């Protein structure tokens, strides 16, 4: 037996002992709620074992997660939409729900089913009709909305009258930032001379914003860790 | 005591009522840019209206009444200039007030919505406390359905012209070569490949997690083509890690073709372009293990990455590999910038791929977007300058209503 | 056949795309009603699209199991856990799949005690890796990277209580960095990216970009 | 020497971080939380809706289990704020794995305030499509959500029976772990219907939303666990986010120390390499 195997067995034993104690001492209820906490704690620790090194315990928990999550999503697609909107109104006794039935829903149903032919080599081309609707309508809806919400509405606050004040200075700085970043991502002119200088300024602005994102991302990941440690120390071990 | 106060209040009330005037120049018309659900009333603003005065809107379905209340407007507020989407920008709009009427309330009932294309009769009463003065005869108007939203005219013009620019440039690109600047990241890429050759160690190309339908993956495949050509010429080992089975198939094809073009079909092995894993962290873990074992001299990470970017780039740094990354995932860019030797940021990735692939639709589209950016830059500079000189024309054109 | 396989989808994409654009500018109730209907249909097509992802996931793991590829046992675990969850989903706390979703039951238990802890833990692992990367690899190799790191440190200090405890400068500086230079750069990126999205959408509508048609020869 | 220090086993670093998280949690002492303007703006908007009376708020759940520690405390505080002012709440999910989380939060807080399902709040569940669900809801809520999550027709529920469009909501808040605010709610919802929109988002997303806040497309925003702690303070009910702030502070200090130390050694070793 190598070192890792001994370590593995020791951890499993310890985990069993701790849970035995928690159940015996009444810290965890001996029902489905208590079992739930133990399962959750076990999976959490299994995933953390990745920190020691990549190992079967981690891979096990990772793949369990994939399977469970896929089936859960199936439920959320089935009950409210596929069953709830397409099937239920036809068969229900509830008059208010039955009123939502419509022959026209056959159109998206057929399109949806055609989409699933993609995996067939003979009928796969039928799925293109659904994809054309899916992608075409999505593209059409996007164009005016992005121009309005992400271009025009974003331009307006940077088109304000300047003044000799703190607000005016901020407006100038924002303007410099927006313009220089746009110039950095401008591919028709060589980055030399004046354009080179402006695009350099653009990089600085980009770097400050990446720095902000970087700091915030670190903060976010640490928050998630704190949340899990809170779970382990409080909900499981009742130490807090 | 109480009586004297009441008398005082009555006196005050009647005194201010002297200032109350009937609404002047009262007009009612269909509200523009809507689906026939409302009527807009406008009238001249009474600059001398006493404080606290309100205009009560009255609606009837018959010219003789009965009239029902439909909301009130303070005599001090709601100038037409407040709603440029409905009225545009005209200088006298500060001197007129408006209200959009959508519903009215019959006593003891829920509000009734205005019906489309039905005549309604409107009256306006100026009111202060108990006092009230009504506008003259009721004005008739109908709520009509409109066919064009004039408030979106600037959006429409911008959409049409930008579309035209893109389509024109794509068609130009089909006929002749369009210029785009050299991308510094591609030179860094060449250097990094050269170093792997000098050291006689492999090059590891890592795809992002997105499938073949994403622009970042398409760009990554284009770059992979160039990388494979170079490694075939230099006789350097190339490993390509994939996450998505479809991307794997395409990558195998691309690498094989590049080796063929370089006249080295013998050097290509399908096993070197492989599916590393299909779960995010397993993907990272597999590649970490591989990096530590094989110690590639150069790591190239291209495509859309998520949190695994950090694990990949960190291991790459610790084994001393030169790392070139390219992604349009802005949340991961900071990690690449601090751990890699060169990073293609956002649109640079697309530009690099268009530069290498010389594909007319990519180049033309990129060029068209450049024109769009140039227009935005010009508007930003000129618009702010004009706005500072009190000429708000451009600023108004580039706003969303 | 070429017409059905290639031209028809492209015509459909063009027509729906142009309709999608036009109804934005038309306030008439018939156009708005059309938007409602088309959106509802698309929403239902999206529900079917879920099965594409599900199928490729299951197919991939099935191929691994069948070929006894390295680590095929884990693929089997995906099947087992999927099967367990799907059983409870369809069982629906005793009411079966042909009734509305139940408020509680085995699927809810598995969600709260398996899916939630696994999902939450997975990303929290990154906290550790970020720490080790902070020590070993986040380097101010270039002046740009130096700016990035300084901004990051200020934001990290400014955003937590201890920053204000050390000095009022940190929260104020972090707020300013976020609101001014960060905002400006993000706006610049946003404008560029939005033009890119508009251009891509346009290429799809006009049949220039056809990757959505999928692989396979005509 | 420096190389050895730089290449220490990273598991030693992991231990440091774990201690930095766990010890402050066990010691249980809290640092004062400072309110930022964007969190205050969220609070003020809800207060304003409450002051106008008869308000109704739409909560959109666009996150999953992976960001529960950051977002769930925000959800609880916002729900408490809404229910304490008797605002009506409609909840929808744009991510499938948000359903169980939303249900849990709604059940917990509605029980605290004695709120009745159907009359005071409604849970509409998940619909796939993201942006397209918003377009659909903008035109007609009853078309996007013909039934609630439990199969009751939305025309039968007291809360939703009179809601027709997104326009009818006094405040819409999206809880976002991805790009649901900037790529879904702003362009496909707020742009057309002009309702006040707020965001409760993960720290990763927060910097990307600043341009929208500056342009007024977003009323306010809660960013990450720190934002959640601020809201807990604003509603006067400290919870898991407030308890986490000390750990958050200590780990930030540790991380900053790592960055500074690592870079110092990097530059020293580079200089000595050059002088040799």
Span A20-63, pLDDT tens digits = 999 999 999 999 999 999 999 999 999 999 898 888 998 999 99
Residue showing tokens 């950095």: A184
- Mean per-residue pLDDT over chain B, rounded: 88
- Domain limits of chain B? 2-141, 150-176+363-397, 184-357
Confidence bin at C214 (pLDDT 50/70/90): low
Contact call for C128 and D17, based on CB within 8 A: yes
Q: What is B2-141's CATH number?
A: 2.60.40.10
Task: Print the domain residue range for C179.
Answer: 139-208
In this complex, the residue of A64, A203, A214 whose CB is nearest that of residue C81 is: A64
Q: Which residues of D touch A227 (CB under 8 A)?
A: 68-70, 225, 240, 244
D251 to chain A: which residues are within 8 Å by CB?
222, 225-226
Q: What is the pLDDT of residue B133?
A: 84
Give the pLDDT band of residue B17 (cuts 50, 70, 90).
Answer: very low
Half-sphere exposure of D169 (CA within 13 A, CB side): 29
Q: Is C186 found in the same domain as C164?
A: yes
Nearest to D151 by CA among D117, D195, D196, D116: D117
Co-location of A228 and A214 in the same domain: yes
pLDDT at A40: 97
Please judge whether A59 and B282 are an interchain contact, meaning their C-beta atoms are less than 8 angstroms apart. yes
* pLDDT at residue B18, rounded to an integer: 54
Write out the two tokens for B353. Answer: 């791929």
Which of B36, B145, B330 is facing C189, going by the closest CB pair? B330
Span C33-38, average pLDDT: 96
Domain ranges of chain D: 2-28+254-275, 37-237
Interface test with D, best of B85, B331, B376, B399 (most D CBs within 10 A): B331
Tell me what the pLDDT averaged over chain A comes to. Answer: 93
Assess D7–B contact: CB distance below 8 Å, yes or no: yes
- With CA atoms as reference, the chain C residue closest to B320 would be C137
Which three-class secondary structure state does DSSP give residue B358?
A: coil
Is A62 in contact with B279 (Cβ distance < 8 A)?
A: yes
Structure tokens at B318: 């610790």
Subunit partners of chain A (3 or more CB pairs within 8 A): B, C, D
Q: Which residue of D has its CA nearest to C160?
A: D249
Average pLDDT value for residue range B232-238: 93
Beta bridge partners of B139: B122
Distance of CA B330 to the CA centre of its chain: 16
Dump pLDDT digits (tens) for C87-127: 999 999 999 999 999 999 999 999 999 999 999 998 899 99
Q: How far is CA D242 from CA A227, C160, D202, D230, D232, in A?
A: 12, 11, 16, 8, 7
**Tokens at C130, concatenated:** 């970020």
Residue pair B360/B170 in contact (Cβ under 8 Å)? The answer is yes
Distance between CA atoms of A230 and D243, rounded to whole angstroms? 9
β pairing state of B322-327 and B39-44: unpaired
- D223 DSSP assignment: E
- φ, ψ at B370 (rounded to 5°): -60, -40
CA-to-CA distance for A33 and A51, rounded, in angstroms? 28
pLDDT, average across residues D140-157: 95
Structure-model confidence comparison of residues D91 and A5, the more confident one: D91
Is D204 within 8 Å of B318 when comparing Cβ atoms?
no
CB contact under 8 A, C159 and A219: yes
Tokens representing A230 are: 């809170």
Ranking B159-168, B346-355, D202-211 by mean pLDDT, the lowest is B346-355
Alpha-carbon distance of B390 to A87, in angstroms, equals 61
Looking at the structure, give the CATH architecture of the domain made up of residues B184-357. 3-Layer(aba) Sandwich (3.40)
CA distance D275 to chain A (A): 31
CA of residue C207 relative to chain centroid, distance: 25
Dihedral sign from CA coordinates of D261, D266, D269, D275:
negative
pLDDT at A125 over 60: yes
Rounded distance, CA B368 to CA B362, Å? 10
* Strand partners of residue B322: B298
- Number of domains, chain A: 3
Q: How far is CA B17 from CA B21, B69, B131, C7, D221, in A?
A: 9, 21, 6, 74, 47
Exposed, middle or buried by CB within 10 Å (0-12, 13-18, 19+), for D272? exposed
Q: Which residues pair with D153 in a beta bridge?
A: D147
Confidence at D252, pLDDT banded by 50, 70, 90 = very high
Q: What is the DSSP string of C107-175?
A: HHHHIIIIIHHHHHHHHHHHHHHHHHHHHHT----SHHHHHHHHHHHHHHHHTSHHHHHH-THHHHHHH
A213, A197: one domain: yes
Same domain? For A143 and A181 the reply is: no
* CB-CB under 8 Å, B384 with A186: no
**Tokens 């088309």 -> residue:** C38
Q: pLDDT > 90: what percent of chain B?
A: 57
Inter-residue contact D204 to D71 (CB < 8 Å): no
Interface membership of A123 toward C (CB under 8 Å) = no
The domain of A108 spans: 102-159
The 3-state DSSP class for residue D10 equals: helix
Looking only at the bridges linking them, the beta strands covering B96-101 and B39-44 are antiparallel
pLDDT higher at C218 or A164: A164
Q: Burial of A182 by CB count in 10 Å (0-12 exposed, 13-18 middle, 19+ buried)?
A: buried
Q: Tell me which of C6, C8, C11, C13 to substitute to probe the interface with A (most A C-beta atoms closer than 10 Å).
A: C13
CA distance B367 to D11: 49
**Element holding B200 (H helix, E strand):** none
Residue D262 has pLDDT above 60, yes or no: yes
- β-bridge mates for residue B30, sequence order: B39
Tell how many helices (H) and how many strands (E) occur in chain B. Answer: 12, 16
Instruction: Tell me the two tokens of residue D139.
Output: 């035109």
CA distance D224 to C177: 17
Q: In this prediction, what percent of chain A has a pLDDT beyond 70?
A: 100
Q: Give the phi and the psi of residue B28 in degrees, each rounded to 5.
A: -130, 135
Across B263-274, average pLDDT: 90
- pLDDT class for A2, splitting at 50, 70, 90? confident
With CA atoms as reference, report the closest residue to C87 among D65, A79, A87, A75: A75
Q: Of B302, C130, A7, B59, give the one whose Cα is nearest residue D13.
A: C130
Interchain contact, B331 vs A213, CB within 8 Å:
yes
Name the residue with tokens 């315990």.
Answer: A57
**What percentage of chain D carries pLDDT values higher than 70?**
99
Residues 6+ apart with CB under 8 A from A110: none
Predicted confidence at residue B223, as pLDDT, reads: 95
Q: What is the mean pLDDT of residues B364-381?
A: 96
pLDDT-derived band of residue B7, with 50, 70 and 90 as boundaries?
very low
Minimum distance, in Å, between the CA of residue A41 and any CA atom of chain D: 15
The answer to whether the CB atoms of D143 and C40 lie below 8 A apart is: yes
ipTM for this prediction: 0.92
Residue C167: inside a domain: yes
Number of domains within chain C: 3
What's the CATH class of domain D37-237? Answer: alpha beta
DSSP for residue A51:
G
Tell me the residue ranges of DSSP E strands in B129-195. Answer: 131-134, 139-141
Q: Which of D178, B267, C110, C200 is nearest to A140 (CA)?
A: C200
When pLDDT is cut at 50, 70 and 90, the band that residue B349 belongs to is: very high
pTM metric for this prediction? 0.93
Task: Tell me if B388 and A217 make a contact (CB, 8 A cut-off).
Answer: no
Q: pLDDT for D57-94, tens place per residue?
A: 999 999 999 999 999 999 999 999 999 999 999 999 99
In this model, does residue B5 exceed pLDDT 70?
A: no
How far is Cα D124 from Cα D140, in angstroms, rounded to an integer?
A: 14
Residue D223 pLDDT > 60: yes
State the residue for tokens 């790191």: C149
Does the pLDDT value for residue B14 go beyond 60?
no
Chain A residues with beta carbon closer than 8 angstroms to that of D132: 138, 141
**Minimum-distance CB partner of D140 among C36, C134, C157:** C36
Residue D276 is predicted with a pLDDT of 63
Paired tokens of A240? 């807090």
Instruction: Tell me the nearest-neighbour CA distance from A94 into chain B, angstroms.
Output: 27
Chain D: residue whose CA lies nearest to B331: D204
Residues with Cβ within 8 Å of residue D169, at least 6 apart in sequence = D56, D57, D58, D90, D163, D195
User: D93: which strand partners?
Assistant: D61, D126
Q: Is the pLDDT of residue B76 over 70?
A: yes
Q: How many whole angstroms separate alpha carbon B5 and alpha carbon B8? A: 5
- Tokens 């649109």 locate to B347
Q: How far is D262 from chain B (nearest CA, A)?
A: 12
Residues 6+ apart with CB under 8 A from A96: D153, D155, D156
Label residue C141 by pLDDT band (50, 70, 90).
Answer: confident
User: pLDDT band at B300, cuts 50/70/90?
Assistant: very high
- B331 has a chain D CB within 8 A of its CB: yes
Contact yes or no for B329/B305 (Cβ under 8 A): yes
Mean pLDDT of C42-70: 91
pLDDT at B8: 45
Helices and strands (H, E) in chain A, number of each type = 10, 0
């Amino acid at each position: 037996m190598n070192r890792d195997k001994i370590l593995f067995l020791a951890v499993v034993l310890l985990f069993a002992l701790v849970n035995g104690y928690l159940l015996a001492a009444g810290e965890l209820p001996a029902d489905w709620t208590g079992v739930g906490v133990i399962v959750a704690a076990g999976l959490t620790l299994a995933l953390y074992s990745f920190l020691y090194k990549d190992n079967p315990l981690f891979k096990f928990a990772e793949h369990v997660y994939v399977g469970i999550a896929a089936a859960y999503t199936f439920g959320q697609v089935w009950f409210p939409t596929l069953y709830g909107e397409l099937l239920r109104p036809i068969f229900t006794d509830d008059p208010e729900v039955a009123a939502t039935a419509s022959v026209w829903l056959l159109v998206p149903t057929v399109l949806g089913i055609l989409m699933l032919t993609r995996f067939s080599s003979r009928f796969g081309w039928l799925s293109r009709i659904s994809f054309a609707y899916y992608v075409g309508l999505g593209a059409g809806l996007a164009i005016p909305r992005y121009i309005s919400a992400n271009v025009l509405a974003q331009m307006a606050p940077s088109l304000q009258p300047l003044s000799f004040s703190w607000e005016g200075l901020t407006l100038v700085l924002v303007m410099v930032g927006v313009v220089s970043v746009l110039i950095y991502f401008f591919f028709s002119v060589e980055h030399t001379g004046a354009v080179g200088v402006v695009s350099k300024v653009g990089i600085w602005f980009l770097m400050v914003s990446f720095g902000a994102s970087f700091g915030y991302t670190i903060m976010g990941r640490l928050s998630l860790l704190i949340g899990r440690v809170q779970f382990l120390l409080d909900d499981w071990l009742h130490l807090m | 005591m109480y009586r004297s106060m009441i008398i005082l209040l009555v006196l005050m009330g009647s005194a201010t009522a002297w200032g109350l005037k009937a609404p002047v120049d009262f007009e009612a018309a269909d509200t523009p840019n809507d689906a026939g659900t409302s009527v807009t009333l406008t009238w001249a603003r009474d600059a001398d209206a006493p404080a606290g005065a309100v205009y009560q809107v009255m609606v009837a379905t018959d010219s003789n009444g009965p009239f029902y209340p439909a909301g009130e407007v303070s005599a001090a507020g709601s100038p037409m200039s407040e709603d440029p989407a409905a009225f545009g920008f005209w200088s006298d709009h500060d001197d007129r007030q408006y209200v959009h009427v959508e519903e009215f309330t019959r006593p003891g009932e829920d509000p009734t919505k205005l019906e489309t294309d039905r005549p309604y009769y409107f009256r306006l009463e100026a009111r202060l406390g108990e006092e009230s003065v009504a506008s003259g005869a009721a004005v008739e108007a109908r709520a009509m359905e409109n066919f064009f939203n004039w408030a979106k005219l600037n959006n429409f013009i911008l959409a049409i012209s930008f579309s035209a620019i893109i389509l024109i440039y794509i068609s130009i690109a089909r006929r002749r070569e369009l210029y785009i600047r050299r991308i510094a990241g591609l030179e860094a890429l060449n250097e990094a490949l050269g170093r792997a050759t000098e050291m006689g160690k492999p090059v590891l190309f890592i795809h992002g997690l997105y499938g073949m339908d994403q622009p970042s993956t398409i760009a990554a495949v284009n770059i992979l083509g160039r990388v494979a050509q170079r490694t075939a010429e230099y006789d350097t080992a190339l490993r390509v890690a994939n996450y998505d089975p479809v991307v794997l198939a395409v990558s195998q094809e691309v690498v094989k073709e590049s080796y063929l073009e370089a006249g080295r079909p013998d050097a290509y092995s399908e096993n070197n372009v492989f599916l590393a894993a299909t779960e995010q962290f397993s993907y990272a873990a597999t590649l970490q293990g591989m990096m530590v074992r094989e110690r590639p001299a150069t790591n190239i990470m291209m495509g859309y990455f998520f949190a695994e970017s950090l694990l990949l780039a960190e291991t790459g740094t610790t084994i001393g590999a030169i790392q070139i990354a390219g992604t349009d995932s802005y949340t991961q860019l900071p990690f690449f910038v601090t751990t890699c030797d060169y990073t293609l940021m956002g649109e640079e990735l697309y530009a690099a791929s268009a530069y290498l692939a010389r594909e007319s639709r990519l180049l033309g589209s990129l060029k068209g977007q450049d024109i769009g950016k140039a227009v935005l830059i010009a508007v930003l500079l000129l618009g702010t300058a004009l706005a500072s000189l009190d000429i708000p024309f451009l600023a108004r054109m580039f706003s969303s209503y | 056949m070429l017409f059905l396989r290639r031209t028809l989808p492209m015509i459909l994409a063009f027509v729906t795309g142009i309709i999608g654009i036009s109804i934005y500018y038309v306030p008439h109730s018939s156009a708005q009603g059309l938007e409602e209907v088309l959106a509802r249909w698309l929403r239902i097509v999206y529900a079917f699209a879920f099965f594409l992802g599900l199928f490729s996931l299951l197919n991939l793991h099935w191929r691994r199991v069948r070929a006894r590829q390295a680590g095929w046992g884990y693929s089997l675990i995906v099947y087992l856990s999927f099967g367990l969850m799907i059983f409870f989903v369809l069982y629906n706390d005793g009411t079966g799949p042909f009734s509305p979703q139940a408020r509680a039951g085995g699927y809810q238990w598995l969600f709260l005690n398996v899916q939630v802890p696994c999902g939450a833990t997975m990303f929290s692992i990154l906290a550790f890796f970020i720490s080790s990367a902070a020590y070993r690899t986040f380097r101010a190799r270039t002046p740009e990277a130096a700016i990035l790191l300084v901004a990051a440190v200020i934001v990290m200090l400014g955003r937590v209580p201890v920053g204000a405890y050390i000095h009022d400068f940190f929260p104020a500086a972090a707020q300013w960095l976020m609101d001014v230079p960060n905002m400006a750069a993000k706006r610049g990126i946003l404008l560029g990216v939005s033009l890119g999205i508009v251009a891509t959408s346009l290429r799809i509508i006009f049949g220039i970009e056809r990757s959505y048609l999928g692989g396979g020869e005509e | 020497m420096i190389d050895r220090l730089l290449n220490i086993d990273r598991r030693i670093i992991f231990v440091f971080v774990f201690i930095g998280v766990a010890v402050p949690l066990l010691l249980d002492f809290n640092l004062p939380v400072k309110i930022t303007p964007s969190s205050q703006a969220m609070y003020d908007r809800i207060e304003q809706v409450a002051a106008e009376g008869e308000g109704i708020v739409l909560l959109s759940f666009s996150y999953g289990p992976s960001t529960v520690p950051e977002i769930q405390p925000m959800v609880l505080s916002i729900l408490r704020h809404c229910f304490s002012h008797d605002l009506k709440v409609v909840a929808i999910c744009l991510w499938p794995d948000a359903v169980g989380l939303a249900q849990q939060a709604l059940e917990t807080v509605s029980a605290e305030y004695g709120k009745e399902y159907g009359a005071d709040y409604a849970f509409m569940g998940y619909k796939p499509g993201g942006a397209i669900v918003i377009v659909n809801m903008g035109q007609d809520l009853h078309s996007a959500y013909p039934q609630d999550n439990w199969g009751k027709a939305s025309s039968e529920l007291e809360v939703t029976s009179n809601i027709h469009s997104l326009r009818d909501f006094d405040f819409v808040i999206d809880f976002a772990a991805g790009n649901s605010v900037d790529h879904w709610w702003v362009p496909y919802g707020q742009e057309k219907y002009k309702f006040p929109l707020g965001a409760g988002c993960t720290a990763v997303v927060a910097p990307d939303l600043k341009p929208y806040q500056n342009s007024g497309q977003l009323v306010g925003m809660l960013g990450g666990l720190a934002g959640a702690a601020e809201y807990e303070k604003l509603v006067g009910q400290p919870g898991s986010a407030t308890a986490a702030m000390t750990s958050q502070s200590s780990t930030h200090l540790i991380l900053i120390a790592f960055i500074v130390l690592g870079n110092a050694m990097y530059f020293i070793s580079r200089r000595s390499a050059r002088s040799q």
